[in-house]
Amino acid sequence: VQLQASGGGLVQAGGSLTLSCAASGSVFSVSRMGWYRQAPGKQRELVAVITSGGVATYVDSVKGRFTISRDNAKNTVWLQMNSLKPEDTAVYYCNADVGTSLNSGNYNYWGQGTQVTVSS
């Protein structure tokens, strides 16, 4: 199973970016999908998570600015980031709980990370 993330880049404060992440390989089912981020010198933190039923949860610092969504048929999750701030600068990681067969449990996977830099 691989999680391929894309969409990072450099943007000015107040701008927008959309990250995407697709799960591929031996994917039978995907339950929880989410985005984490890690800024230099800081611990990795949860940004947003969405269940297979579409229930989303956000860290307080991004509420009202970021939107997480997913397409279950494509095993893909997006993170629409608006009104970006310099403090949003970090490496963003995709994360997902994936089942590889009908009878398997879910295993947790990480994407490779994509850099988001917001200039002031």
| Alpha carbons 21 and 76: distance in angstroms, whole number | 6
Collect all residues with Cβ–Cβ distance below 8 Å to 49 and sequence separation of at least 6. Answer: 32, 33, 34, 35, 56, 57, 68
Tokens 């002031």, residue? 120
pLDDT digits (tens, 9 = 90+) for 53-110: 999 999 999 999 999 999 999 999 999 999 999 999 999 999 999 998 888 888 999 9
Residue-level pLDDT at 73: 95
Beta carbons of 7 and 66 less than 8 angstroms apart = no
Helix (H) or strand (E) holding 69: strand 66-71
Burial of 29 (0-12, 13-18, 19+ CB in 10 A): middle
pLDDT digits (tens, 9 = 90+) for 7-55: 999 999 999 999 999 999 999 999 999 999 999 999 999 999 999 999 9
Residue-level pLDDT at 103: 83
Q: Is the dihedral of CA 10, 84, 81, 41 positive or negative?
A: positive
